Each structure stands twice: as structure tokens, then as C-alpha cells.
Amino acid sequence: MEQEQQSSQEISKKAAKKEAAKAEKLRRRQEAAAAATSGVAGVSIEGPDPLASNYGDIPINELQSKSISGRVWTTVSSLTVEQKDQSVLVRGRAQAIRAVGKKMAFLTVREKGYTVQCVLTVAPDAVSTQMVKFAAGISKESIVDIEGIVTVPPEAIKGASQQVEVQVRKIYCVNRAANVLPINVEDAARSDAEIRRHLEETGEQLVRVNQDTRLNYRILDMRTHANQAIFRLESHVLNLFRQFLLNEDFFEIITPKLTAGTSEGGAAVFKLEYKKQPACLAQSPQLHKQMAICGDFGGVFVVGPVFRAEDSYTHRHLCEFTGLDVEMEIKEHYSEVMDIVDRLFVEMFDKLNEKCQKQLEAIGGQYPFKPLKYLRKTLRLTFEEGIQMLKDAGVEVDPLGDLNTETERTLGKLVAEKYGTEFYILHRYPLAVRPFYTMPCADNAAYSNSFDVFIRGEEIISGAQRVHIPELLESRAQECGIDVKTISTYIDSFRYGAPPHGGFGVGLERVVMLFCALDNIRKTSLFPRDPRRLEP
Ligand code: ATP
């Protein structure tokens, strides 16, 4: 045993020595390369370079907001044949660098997911061999400034999004990335179809970056074309949600995320101690948005984090997601709330399809999907009609129970076949499967004035008319096993005259996931929180 330990210690000492020697060799080599290529010093082992000022690492003090040069910057995405022969200045990341001998190098420069091929060809008074060497030595993902002339090659460019090249005249490294990256952005950007095709054509297995690795190194994963598009699209969804409601005379309110008591029921919560009192992170803004209606706000919406401590290890549940919540007075019927859902989402889908074509293409490039099918007037089916459709298709379901994920999907398919839509509303749910604050139906108390909304057979919204009579609210809470003492301020707010009202809650990440038919909600949450993940 002791002998074994000794020998393993010797081995690790030897390995450490070897590593140190390797590191020293690398350091010396890097120093020599830096001296050879430094545009600042301009002296190289191949002799002084008259073009030395056209390349090099930008010294830190130049990057400390020292001066404003007035130079004009061009974005990579805007580079087209129209700029032919023009001189442009771009900043981007060195996605791929390939030297061809000593006289030529290709650099794929990426900015916000768009890429352009930049070429260095040794030529008198334009590009020196030292400059090519400098470019070839830049580590992947380093930030570079490139000045050059736009040219249009005769053949289509395969490895870049922009169909022009930049003939480099100046190249500066703004900041270097580590030499070894945990994941390669090109690997993370590859579609499964591309990996399959490459394997079939060449027999070579390309790297496939799995979901967990992507999330561990999210900031590298974020740099892919598809991810740039997903999160931009998400921002559009947020914006369209806000714009539509503001135009309808709703306004945005902010509700507390720290709440008293232990839960409003339904979902598991993250409990915490609030100055020695039991408290929890809000599982929704439900109670406070309703209280705002009792305060005569008429129509409100809330955008914010929602916390659920459920142990849901599924493709569509997170422990923290973004809730888009609406609450409004109604005059007569909960269909007034469904009308808002209908118009809000049809307008949102229209505008996403119209304004976000680039993003949708970028997402589809990596994760192919068919555009969402939806009707001008959203289909509304009652829960009973849905159950009947399932029964007719031979699916056994409890008529007064909830639908599980599988039956929801099956119903989604049946609805798509029969009505030609992948977006629809199912309403009049059994009362027993809805939260205590849901208004029972007037004609049959086994049902409720509630609805769920589905995209491609998966739930994105729950909504309902709420109980506005405090006595009924109290008895419903008790029936649902909720300790009314813990929600007394909520119930009391209905004692001073509350208008009939209703509302709904949408999960932002689910909307984006399902609109783009993505297979996992973690793809639409920037830094997802699930039962196994609290970092990064
Ligand atoms: P599910 O049945 O899918 O668990 P739910 O009935 O618990 O959802 P609600 O509490 O009514 O959902 O929340 C409203 C909306 O919030 C849902 O339709 C969904 O879009 C979103 N949502 C709910 N729970 C989660 C979660 N854990 N992760 C992400 N989004 C969620």
C-alpha cells in the first residue's frame, strides 16, 4: 500500500515537472511570437516590418476610453455586395483562423451570430508575412478589429453567412480569448442534420455539444447564431406583450416576490425565513394582481420571475421562469378575457412572423421547424368537447379530471387535424382541477369559468374568471385545504367591494419554445434554474 502511494507520488512529481517544462516552453514560444508579430514594437525575427503599425495587440491603455476616433464601424450582418470595393471597419470575434502556408490566412469573423470571411494575402505595401503570422496566431474567440476592402468572390461562400469577403489591410487584437476553450462555438452551432450528413458523407463523427455542457458554458453557447436569435425573439415577445396591452389601456404593475405564509396552493414553493416569519418566493403574482383590481386599476399586467419548487424533471418545467400575467375587470363573461388572449396572441404571432424573419431563419437553421399554424379567430373548445374528441379517438380519460401531458398532446394533434390550428383555447375545466380562486360555472358547479391555451399540444396559459365574493372565496380556499389565516389580507381585500374580474398567466419561455417547436425549455431560458441547476 505504502509502496503504491510512493510510486504514485513519484509519478505525479514527474508529471508536474513535465507539465512545468511544457508550460515554460510554451511561454517562451509565445514571447518569441509576440516579439515577432507585435505591431507596437514593429520588430520581428524576420527584420523590421514597414507595415508593423497595421497589426498587433491593442494596448490596454488604448482601450480605457482614451479618445474618440470618429471612425465608422460596419456591422458584419450589413456586409453585402453593395459595399463592393469599399473600405470597411468591423469588430467581431475570430471564430476560425486558417493559415495557408506563410503567405495567406483566412479568418472567419463573427458578430452577433453573423459571419464574414476575411482574407490576408501577402502583397507589397498591403500585407506582410509577419502580419499573416500575427493573424494566424490569434486564438479562437478573441475580439478583433479588421479594416479591409470588400470583394465579391465568384463562387458562393459556404463557411460564412455573408456572401462577400474582406481583404484585410489592418488587423488588431482587442482582447485575446484563452487558447483552450471548453466548447467550440462552431460545434455548438451545428445542427443534428449536419452532423448526420457529415457522418454519412465522410464517415467522420463531428462534435455534438450536449445540453448540459452548453449550459455549463452558457456564455460560449450564447454566441451561436441560433441562440442570438432565440433570445432576441424572446425580447420581441416581451415587447409585443407589453405593447398590445398598453394599447388596450392596461398598465404594468410590479408585485412582490417575497410573500407571507407558505403558499397560495397548487404548486410547491421555495420557503424562506423573513425576519423570523415564515415566507416564500411568489409562485405567481396571482393574489397581488387581483388585489390591484380591487384597488380599481381596471386592467393590469405583470412581467417578472415566478418561482416553483416542484420536482419536475421535464422538458417544460423550470424552478424559475418568467411569468406574463394579466388581470382585468369583466363586465359579463369570462370570454372577455379569452378575447384578449385571442387578439394578443394572433397579433403577436403575426408580428413575430413579419418582423423576426431573420431570427426565425437562424433558429430553423439549427433546429428546423414548421411555422405555427393558427387561425385568424382562435378556436375555442369546451373541456367536454375535448374529452369527446379524445373518446372518439379511443383515448380513455376521466371527464372530471385533469389532462396529462400525453393526452394534451394527443388532443393537440386531433385539433390540428380537424380544425387546422396548432393554437387553441380549451375552456370550462372541471372545478376540482383548478385553484381555489376560480369561479365555478353558473349552470354546473362541477365545472369552472376557466381555460388553458395550447401551442402544438402543450400548455402555455392558464386563465379564468376569479371569485370576487369574499365568503365564497373563503369557503373555496378551505375546501382546497388552504389555511385561510395565511391569506387573510388577500381575502379581506374583497370585503370592500370587488368588481367581477378575470385574468391569465403565460410562461414566456414556453411561448418561445413552442412557437419555434424547440424540444426543451432550457433552450429559451438564458440561465435556467431547474431542480439540478443553480449555476451559472
Ligand atoms: P403545468 O400544468 O404545465 O405544470 P401549471 O398548470 O402549473 O402548468 P400555471 O401555474 O397555471 O401552470 O402557470 C401558468 C403558465 O406558466 C403555464 O401555462 C406555463 O406556460 C407557465 N409555467 C407553469 N409552470 C411552469 C414551470 N415550472 N416552468 C416554466 N413555465 C411554467
Identify any residues that bridge with 92 across adjacent strands, giving them in sequence order.
144
Q: Tell me, letter by letter, the H, E, C secondary structure of 73-107.
A: CCCHHHCCHHHCCCEEEEEEEEEEEEEECCCEEEE
Instruction: Show the domain range for 133.
Output: 52-175
Question: Cell numbers 442570438 correspond to what residue?
Answer: 228
Tell me if 228 sits within 8 A of 112, measured CB to CB.
yes
Q: Return the pLDDT at 4.
A: 38
Crossing angle of helices 2-37 and 129-136, rounded to 10°: 150
Identify any residues that bridge with 300 across adjacent strands, giving them in sequence order.
251, 327
Separation CA 520–CA 317 (nearest Å): 9
Within this chain, do residues 212 and 119 fall inside the same structural domain, yes or no?
A: no
Residue 243's pLDDT band, with cuts at 50, 70 and 90, is very high
Show the cell assigned to 325. 400575467
Within this chain, do residues 206 and 266 fall inside the same structural domain, yes or no?
A: no
Averaged pLDDT score across all residues of the chain: 91
Of 140, 156, 175, the one marking the end of a domain is 175
Within this chain, do residues 229 and 195 fall inside the same structural domain, yes or no?
A: no
Tell me if 124 sits within 8 A of 114, measured CB to CB.
no
Cβ 308 under 6 angstroms from ligand 1? yes
Show the cell assigned to 227. 441562440
Q: Which atom of ligand 1 is nearest to the CA of 267?
A: 7
Within this chain, do residues 237 and 216 fall inside the same structural domain, yes or no?
A: no
Residue 32's pLDDT band, with cuts at 50, 70 and 90, is very low
Cβ 294 under 6 angstroms from ligand 1? no
What's at 209, amino acid-wise?
A: V
Separation CA 508–CA 521 (nearest Å): 10
Q: Return the pLDDT at 6.
A: 39
Within this chain, do residues 438 and 354 fall inside the same structural domain, yes or no?
A: yes
104, HSE (Cβ side, Cα atoms, 13 Å): 5
Within this chain, do residues 290 and 153 fall inside the same structural domain, yes or no?
A: no
Tell me if 496 sits within 8 A of 376, measured CB to CB.
no
- 17: in domain: no
Q: Return the pLDDT at 152.
A: 97
Percent share of the chain, pLDDT over 90: 86
Mean per-residue pLDDT, 17-35: 52
Percent share of the chain, pLDDT over 70: 90
For residue range 473-508, what is the model confidence (pLDDT) as tens digits?
999 999 999 888 888 999 999 999 999 999 999 999
User: What separation in Å is there between the alpha carbon of 325 and the centre of ligand 1?
Assistant: 12
Cβ 407 under 6 angstroms from ligand 1? no
Within this chain, do residues 87 and 146 fall inside the same structural domain, yes or no?
A: yes
Q: Return the pLDDT at 525.
A: 98
Q: Is the pLDDT at 464 greater than 60, yes or no?
A: yes
What's at 184, amino acid-wise?
A: N
Length, in residues, of the chain: 536
Q: Comparing 305-314, 448-457, 497-506, which segment has the lowest mean pLDDT?
A: 305-314
Q: Which atom of ligand 1 is nearest to the CA of 511?
A: 20
Element (H, E) at 260: strand 258-260
- If one residue of 427, 510, 522 were mutated to test the ligand 1 pocket, choosing by the most ligand atoms within 8 A of its CB, it would be 510
Residue 356's Cβ-count burial label (10 Å; 0-12, 13-18, 19+) is buried
CATH number at 481 reads: 3.30.930.10
Tell me if 223 sits within 8 A of 95, measured CB to CB.
no
- 41: in domain: no
Cβ 113 under 6 angstroms from ligand 1? no
- 13: in domain: no
Q: Which residue has the higher pLDDT, 106 or 9?
A: 106
- 29: in domain: no
| Backbone dihedral angles phi then psi of residue 179, each to the nearest 5 degrees | -65, -35
Q: Return the pLDDT at 159.
A: 87
Count: domains in the chain: 3
| Backbone dihedral angles phi then psi of residue 432, each to the nearest 5 degrees | -60, -20
Separation CA 325–CA 504 (nearest Å): 6
Looking at residue 123, the DSSP 8-state letter turns out to be: B
CATH number at 168 reads: 2.40.50.140
- 64: in domain: yes
Identify any residues that bridge with 291 across adjacent strands, giving them in sequence order.
none
Q: Is the pLDDT at 315 greater than 80, yes or no?
A: yes
Separation CA 132–CA 102 (nearest Å): 7
Ligand 1 atom 26 nearest Cα: 317
Within this chain, do residues 231 and 199 fall inside the same structural domain, yes or no?
A: no
Separation CA 69–CA 145 (nearest Å): 14
Within this chain, do residues 152 and 240 fall inside the same structural domain, yes or no?
A: no
- 260: in domain: yes
| Backbone dihedral angles phi then psi of residue 476, each to the nearest 5 degrees | -65, -40
User: What separation in Å is there between the alpha carbon of 507 and the centre of ligand 1?
Assistant: 6
For residue range 391-440, what is the model confidence (pLDDT) as tens digits?
999 999 999 999 999 999 999 999 999 999 999 999 999 999 999 999 99
- 39: in domain: no
Cβ 459 under 6 angstroms from ligand 1? yes
Q: Is the pLDDT at 96 greater than 90, yes or no?
A: yes
Mean per-residue pLDDT, 167-184: 97
Within this chain, do residues 76 and 140 fall inside the same structural domain, yes or no?
A: yes
Identify the three-state secondary structure at position 506. strand
**Per-residue buried b or exposed e for 503-529, using 16+ beta carbons within 10 Å of the residue's own CB:** bbbbbbbbbbbbbbbbeebbbbbeebb
- 42: in domain: no
Of 112, 143, 175, the one marking the end of a domain is 175
Within this chain, do residues 81 and 204 fall inside the same structural domain, yes or no?
A: no
Of 197, 221, 245, the one marking the end of a domain is 221
Q: Quote the pTM value.
A: 0.89
Q: Return the pLDDT at 81.
A: 96
Show the cell assigned to 385. 368537447
Show the cell assigned to 222. 450564447
Within this chain, do residues 446 and 476 fall inside the same structural domain, yes or no?
A: yes
Identify any residues that bridge with 514 across adjacent strands, giving them in sequence order.
none
Separation CA 7–CA 29 (nearest Å): 33
27: left (phi over 0), alpha (psi -120 to 50) or beta: alpha
For residue range 210-219, what is the model confidence (pLDDT) as tens digits?
999 999 999 9
